[in-house]
Amino acid sequence: MKSLVQYILERIRPLPNNTTGLIVFDIDDTILKVDPKLMSVYKNEPGKSEKVLSTEEFAKDPDAADPNKKSWFDFRDFRDPIKVYQSIMAGTPLIKNLRIMDDYIEAGYDFCFLTARGCEETIKTALDDFLRVRNRNDKSLRKLGDTFKKTLSHAINDDQKNYPGKSDSERKANVLKYLCKKYDKVVFVDDDTKNVTAARNLRIPNLRVIKAWEE
């Protein structure tokens, strides 16, 4: 498995003719950092008062990995389309990870997102407005346009849809399996170790998994 350092030292080679590529990005703490004042996860451990967690604290909370404790966590902010849109537009871009996105898009890869959030349709609109690709040579910015594959983008906790899997990591892994059948090369970038491990454990030959930079 290649480390991030090896990745940075290598140049991403342009896709050969007749080869398709897709880069799949997690959103929170991978593409952007949400202002914790706008979006929080609420933890209600039985017998304790409600605790407010940032998305980062939630990702690292050991109880969040336990499917039996799923009911402890309340994601009400993530179900509110206005807050969801604002949280993305006001998010702090994580530049090092976005440079990875730029490099792959410049190499001919398509883009989609794969997030544990809900509100899939709102996120498609918000990311379309938020994201820009940087041209490697003249550093100009442009919208993703057709490179952004909205039909392949998934928010696995969308209330209108049903994504199979016992945990968020398993649901994400199931989506990746499907995407790997549609493209010759798939690259998945996520900050959450649980998701990275679940994706690597699929052992799909055309799937490359990159642990996102945290800062």
For 12, phi then psi, to 5°, come to -75, 125
Whole-number Å distance between alpha carbons of 62 and 83: 26
- For residue 29, state whether it binds Mg ion (rule: CB under 5 A): yes
Smallest distance from Mg ion to CB 152, Å: 18
C-beta of 81: minimal distance to Mg ion in Å? 20
The nearer residue to Mg ion, 107 or 179, going by C-beta atoms, is 179
Task: Find the shortest distance in angstroms from Cβ 168 to Mg ion.
Answer: 10
28 binds Mg ion (CB under 5 A): yes
Sequence-separated (6 or more) residues with CB below 8 Å from residue 154: 112, 113, 114, 115, 120, 163, 175
The smaller minimum CB distance to Mg ion, of residues 108 and 200, is found at: 200
User: CB under 5 A: which stretch of 19-27, 81-89, 95-103, 198-206 binds Mg ion?
Assistant: 19-27
Written as six digits, the tokens of 157 are 């906790």
Q: Given candidates 102, 110, 168, 191, which one binds Mg ion under the rule CB under 5 A? A: 191
Write phi, then psi, for 140 (nearest 5 degrees). -75, 155
144-183 footprint of Mg ion as x/- string (CB under 5 A) = ----------------------------------------
Place of tokens 């690597």: 200
According to DSSP, the residues that pair with 209 across neighbouring strands are 188
